[in-house]
Amino acid sequence: MTDALETQRPDISVLVCTRNRSGALRACVGSILDSRYRNFELLIVDQSDDPETAAYVRSLDDHRIEYRPTETRGLSRARNLALRLARSPLVAFTDDDCICDPGWIGEIIREFKENDDIYGLFGRVRPWGDRWDEGLFCHCLIDDPDERTVAEPVPPHKYLGHGNNMAYRRELFRRVGLYNTQMGAGTRMKSGEDTDLTFRALRQRLPLKYSPAPLVYHDNWNTFAQADRMDLGYVLGFVMVFGKFTLYGDKVARRCLRDRLGELIKDDLRNSFRYKNWPKFRRTWIKLFFYFLGFFPALYFRMKGDLAWTD
CATH of the domain at 118: 3.90.550.10
Domain's final residue, options 222, 254, 277: 222
* Residues 73 and 36 placed together within one structural domain of the fold: yes
Largest Cα separation within the chain, whole Å, is 69
Q: What are φ and ψ of residue 209, in 5° steps?
A: -125, 145
Question: Which value, in Å, is the radius of gyration of the alpha carbons in the chain?
Answer: 20
Domain's final residue, options 177, 199, 222: 222
pLDDT at 6: 54
* Residues 187 and 59 placed together within one structural domain of the fold: yes
The verdict on residue 310 lying in a domain is no
Domain's final residue, options 191, 222, 253: 222
pLDDT at 8: 83
Length of the chain: 311
Measure the CA–CA gap between 59 and 87, rounded to whole angstroms: 23
DSSP symbol at 103: T
Q: What are φ and ψ of residue 158, in 5° steps?
A: -90, -35
* Residues 159 and 253 placed together within one structural domain of the fold: no
* Residues 75 and 142 placed together within one structural domain of the fold: yes
The helix/strand count (H/E) of the chain reads as 13, 11
* Residues 73 and 23 placed together within one structural domain of the fold: yes
Domain range for 244 is: 225-304
* Residue 230 clears pLDDT 70, i.e. is over it: yes
Q: Report the domain count for the chain.
A: 2
Please count the other Cβ atoms lying within 10 Å of the Cβ belonging to residue 63: 11
* Residues 238 and 207 placed together within one structural domain of the fold: no
* Residues 183 and 81 placed together within one structural domain of the fold: yes
The verdict on residue 311 lying in a domain is no
The verdict on residue 35 lying in a domain is yes
The verdict on residue 272 lying in a domain is yes
* Residue 108 clears pLDDT 90, i.e. is over it: yes
* Residue 5 clears pLDDT 60, i.e. is over it: no
* Residues 210 and 163 placed together within one structural domain of the fold: yes
* Residues 120 and 174 placed together within one structural domain of the fold: yes
Average pLDDT rounded to a whole number, residues 233-240: 96
The verdict on residue 139 lying in a domain is yes
pLDDT at 311: 73
The model's pLDDT over 129-183, given as tens digits with 9 standing for 90+, comes to: 999 999 999 999 999 999 999 999 999 999 999 999 999 999 999 999 999 999 9
- Three-state DSSP class for residue 162: coil
pTM higher than 0.75 for the full model?
Answer: yes
* Residue 7 clears pLDDT 90, i.e. is over it: no
% of the chain beyond a pLDDT of 90: 94
Summarize the chain as % helix, strand, coil (round to 5).
Answer: 45, 20, 35
* Residues 69 and 182 placed together within one structural domain of the fold: yes
* Residues 91 and 156 placed together within one structural domain of the fold: yes
The verdict on residue 147 lying in a domain is yes
* Residues 104 and 171 placed together within one structural domain of the fold: yes
